[in-house]
Structure 1
Amino acid sequence: MVLSIIIILSLLFLIFNYYISDNDFLAPSIVFILMFLVQSVMCLIATSYLNITFNMEVLIILLISYLIFTIFNVYNAVILKKTTNVVAGIKTATSRKLYFLPLSSSVSWIINGLSVLLIYSNYKFLQRLSNAYGGTRSLSEMISLYDRLTKFRPEVYRSLGVHRPFYYTALSLLVLAGSYLTIYILVNNFIVNKKINWLQMLTAVLLIIEMYFSGSRSPIFRVITFVAFLYYIFSIRNGLQHRERQKIFSKFLRWGIVLTIVFLSTLSLYGRSNSYSLFHYFFIYVGAPLWNLDTFIQTHSLPQMTQAFGEQTFIAFHNSFLRSGFLLDLPFVKANAAYGLGNVYTTFYQFLHDFGWLGLVPLVTIIVWYYSGSYRKILMTKNEPVIDFRLFVYAYLINDLIMLFFSNRFYETILQKNTIRLFIVAYLISSILFEQAIKIGPLKISFRKQR
């Protein structure tokens, strides 16, 4: 009964927000509500073989979150209607076509060369790790070993004493920033002239190969959502007609189906096996987290005892800046003796774990405040022949909005030291390449030659 109400409620909020946002299917409220609607439908399908029941607490959590997203969405709609021009049915302040962004081929060659070096270094590192753990393995087995040790047995991983080369951290940060900027330019210029720069495309391919060695598909998925969001926004800024947005939505649906098939068919590349049906394996990722959240609420007192303020919610900050060494408290859940449900509980799990019900509204509001405010400003931004860094950051973080149905990705990402470093390095590179100056508030350092 509660599950049916969740589905109906999600559908009603989705339709209302879609109408309020002028049929903008990538408005933050639409993305958030849609993902939880998909979760709910997956749970409904899974009732054909699992005894799935929901309690009112999950319904209340979703209702509160939907209301917060909807309030900000209504505010955005009012502000956009008052302050911007209506261009092709989308409310945006764009007054001219998108600019072509030139990138020197020498810069691309440098990034690509460094990427190859990092891929080789990663491969040798995995070999050393495999040997230290007891013998040689295939590439997929080495990747799986690294993934298991770092996620579930970090103390064993540290005890092996296998490290990457001294230059790896700094170089990988530089390459990651340069590669994301290259992809930004690649998508921008494709929208402008419908041509692909294959040297820049090689940069994207090498980045994905490098991410493959990490053992996780999440970084690759982030690149995909980064590209998709930029494609949509650049199309709008280049004069996308209102009716053509539906064509982009159709493209995204097709891409989503293809990506789902690829996701399910590449397990062996990561050295993973699956004893379940393909549906249940997919359900563990999309569906089970919501049910796991309900199970957690019903079986635990809230909030849980922690060693530090926001230990689980702000774990990235504690471990990255304070070196606390906390581990995520994510026990695996089983539906019965035959079916496991994974160990993810949506983003709300950490909020309730650390702060109980009192933390729900402020923590969700912060998320909505960032995504709604930034999205509004992105739609209102005029085209300039430079990197729109607000758009760059938002396109990077759109993945965390999508993945809120899965885990606490937003706070884990923005409070991670490496994320902040990435944005700083990317900002410095883009400022030097396209503005020949670095601006920090009122301070401006110019690299242009004075005449």
Structure 2
Amino acid sequence: MGYLFLTIIILTISAYYLNGKELIAPSFLFSVAFLVASFFALLNGEKWGYNLNNSTYFVIVLGILEFIIISYIIRIIFRTHPNGINKANTDHTVFINNRKLIYVEIIQFIFVFVIIWNVKKVTGQSDITKAVNMLNYSANGFIGMSYELPTYAKLMQNFNFAVGIFGEYLFIKELVENRKFKIIFFIEVLFALSGSILSGSRGGTLIAIVSLLVFYMLIQQKRIDWNPRKNLISILLVIIIAAIVLFLFKQTTTWVGRGEETRSSFDYISIYMGAEIKNLDLFINNGMFPIKTELFGQQTFVTIYDFLIKHLNYPAQTYNLVLPFQSVNGYGLGNVYTVFYPWLYDFGYSGILFLTLIMASISEIIYEISIKSSQNIAPYIRLFYGGTVAPCIVFSFFSNRFFEAMNIITIIVTIVIYWFINHFLVKEINKNE
């Protein structure tokens, strides 16, 4: 475990310098995510065991290395383009119609009450915390009962979260560029942070926190006076926010109706921050992969199949991910296995090679485009990178978030919302016209 941690330190440092010290470059985010996970795994080595299968070591290390190399190649291609990377956009000034945004926020508050009513209705629970817990357990296949919100309620959730991400970008932009704390934008930050709780999940809240930090760095990097030496401030900011989140994480179980957690805070956090590596090791030790099923890439492309089955009548049964709970030496380790688990499950070692290539390529391309983009109040591609792609990369140490986010309908709806809200809120644009 110690060798893994030391190796990932070297890879993370390499990614940092290869990316010009840009803290939100995909390969750096990917590396640092596994660095944190390996650190927690190392801290728990005495309980879980320090030894890792050599195959586990090489899967993680070579996966990270490939991600760095592919990202760097694509970066070089983009950075040598004649147009270059624009550091600041001074061609136009955009003004937000605050009155219209207030109207939108009133609608969002109404949506929240409608969603709460639906959560209680479909679960039959009058207590909202118990209701959201049952909804979450049903979604993850932990109980036999099937609870699902109606389509219009899901669309309301998508709308609130997408507009919340949009608001996060505006909030950070105003804070960084004008040193102003705009309440009207901060309300949207709260919508983004709290949205997923009504589904019994804390994942959306964590995504919203990561998005805030990514938007901060995106906007900082666009400034003419940006200098990599300022990264120390950003790193300290990330450490402080991460410490607060970890301190509060155990307490949030009651927010989603899961009851009081009896394990120590350290043990509880370790299950979410380091046990994934040990679980992956246990899976690799069993050696029973790839597992052939009727569906190609069943575990990797679960949301794509979910879309095909529900909306295009694909001839297959709806299914849940195969994520058995693990334990070692009497310690429960949960049921999360890193991004590499479903790839090994479906395709074996060759899956690591090809899917890392795909993930790194898509992530880096979107990142490079988002840097250049400067149209609209909040550029769609920048919102998509900060609100979807970057958080999925960060949580690669946890699960297959990247390919699970490839829900065609959700992506389309989100982009449409970004387009609508950008145009709806514009008060004035192009000061030179």
TM-score normalised over the length of structure 1: 0.85
- The worse-fitting range, judged by mean Cα deviation, of 168-177 and 261-270 is 168-177
1:33-112 equivalences in 2 (<5 Å): 33-75=31-73, 78-79=76-77, 82-83=80-81, 92-96=85-89, 101-112=94-105
**Are 1:264 and 2:246 an aligned pair?**
no
Deviations 1:188-224 (A, max 9, x none): 2222211122122223223433432111111111111
Residues 1:209 and 1:17: Cα distance change in structure 2 (over 3 Å)? closer
Q: Indicate yes or no: 2:321 matched with 1:334.
A: no
Q: What's the counterpart of residue 397 of structure 2?
A: 405
Residue 411 (structure 1) shift? 0.3
Deviations 1:369-419 (A, max 9, x none): 01222223333x164554322211111121100011110000000235323
Matches within 5 A, 1:17-32: 17-32=15-30
Residues 99, 288 of structure 1: alpha-carbon distance in 2 compared, 3 angstrom cutoff: farther
Is this contact kept in 2: 1:292–1:344, CA < 8 A? Answer: yes
> How far apart, in 2, do the equivalents of 1:42 and 1:220 lie?
22
Equivalent pair of 1:29/1:70 in contact (CA under 8 Å): yes
AA of the residue aligned to 1:308: L
Cα 1:92–1:258 shift into 2, 3 Å: farther
Q: Which residue of 1 aligns with 2:284?
A: 297
- The number of residue pairs the alignment matches comes to 420
- Shift of the 22–428 alpha-carbon distance from structure 1 to 2, 3 Å rule, reads same
- Match of 1:341, SS state, is strand
Cα separation, 1, equivalents of 2:306 and 2:332: 29
1:227 correspondence with 2:225: no
Q: Per-residue displacement from partner, 1:148-174 (whole Å, max 9, x unpaired)? A: 23323464124xxx855x742444433
Equivalent in the alignment of 2:418: 426
The verdict on how the C-alpha distance between 1:175 and 1:36 changes in structure 2, with shifts beyond 3 A counting, is closer
Query: Paired residue for 1:445?
Result: none
The answer for the alignment partner of 1:214 in structure 2 is: 199
Task: Look up the match of 1:318.
Answer: 305
1:275 corresponds in structure 2 to 262
Residues 316, 415 of structure 1: 8 Å contact kept: yes
Once the two structures are superposed, residues 54-89 of structure 1 have per-residue CA deviations (whole angstroms, 9 ceiling, x without a partner) of 10111111232122122234435645664589xxxx
Moved more, 253-262 or 44-53: 44-53
Change (3 A) 1:98 1:227: farther
Return the letter of the residue paired with 2:239: L
1 or 2 for the larger relative contact order (CA 8 Å, sep ≥6)? 2
Q: Match of 2:271? A: 284
- List per-residue Cα deviations over 1:279-302 (Å, max 9, x = no partner): 111111111111111111111422
Q: Which moved more, 1:225-234 or 1:412-421?
A: 412-421
Q: Distance in 2 between matches of 1:44 and 1:65?
A: 19
Structure-2 change in CA distance of 1:355 and 1:41 (3 Å) = same
Change in CA separation of 1:238 and 1:262 when aligned onto 2, cut-off 3 Å: same
Residues 1:178 and 2:163 aligned together: yes
Check conservation: 1:212, 1:220, Cα contact below 8 A.
yes
Partner of 2:132: 143
Q: Alignment partner for residue 128 of structure 1, among 113, 121, 124? A: 121
For residue 436 of structure 1, report the CA deviation from its aligned partner.
11
Distance, in Å, in 2 between the alignment partners of 1:163 and 1:33 is 36
Query: Structure 1 316/358 Cα, relative in aligned 2: closer, same or farther at 3 Å?
Result: same
Instruction: Encode CA deviations 1:98-134: one digit per residue, 9 max, x unaligned.
Output: 965422123222221122212212322343345x3xx
Mark the structure with the bigger radius of gyration. Answer: 1
Q: Residue 314 of structure 2 corresponds to which residue in structure 1?
A: none
Distance 2:238 2:91 in 1: 22
Question: Counterpart in 2 of 1:443?
Answer: none
1:238 aligns with 2:219: no
Percent same amino acid at aligned positions? 21
Please tell me whether the aligned partners of residues 193 and 206 of structure 2 are also in contact (alpha carbons under 8 angstroms): no
In structure 2, list runs of 5 or more residues that go unmatched: 311-316
Distance 1:393 1:52, change over 3 A: same
Alpha-carbon RMSD: 2.7
Distance 1:136 1:180 in 2: 30
Cα 1:152–1:96 change in 2 (3 A) is closer
Deviation, 1:432, is 5.6
What amino acid does structure 1 have at the position aligned with 2:207? R
Change (3 A) 1:383 1:34: same
How far apart, CA to CA, are the structure 2 residues paired with 1:193 and 1:295? 51
SS state of the match for residue 234, structure 2? helix
One-letter code aligned to 1:149: S
Contact kept in structure 2, 1:17 and 1:29, CA below 8 Å = yes
Residue identity opposite 1:61 in structure 2? V
Q: 2:129, 2:261 → 1: CA distance?
A: 15
1:387 aligns with 2:378: yes
**In structure 2, how many angstroms separate the alpha carbons of the residues matched to 1:49 and 1:59?**
19
- Looking at structure 1, the residues matched to 133 and 377 of structure 2 have their Cα atoms a distance apart, in angstroms, of 40
Q: Tell me the amino acid that sits aligned with residue 394 of structure 1.
A: Y
1:9 aligns with 2:7: yes
Q: Residues 210, 403 of structure 1: CA spacing in aligned structure 2 closer, same or farther, 3 A cutoff? A: closer
SS of residue in 2 equivalent to 1:340: strand
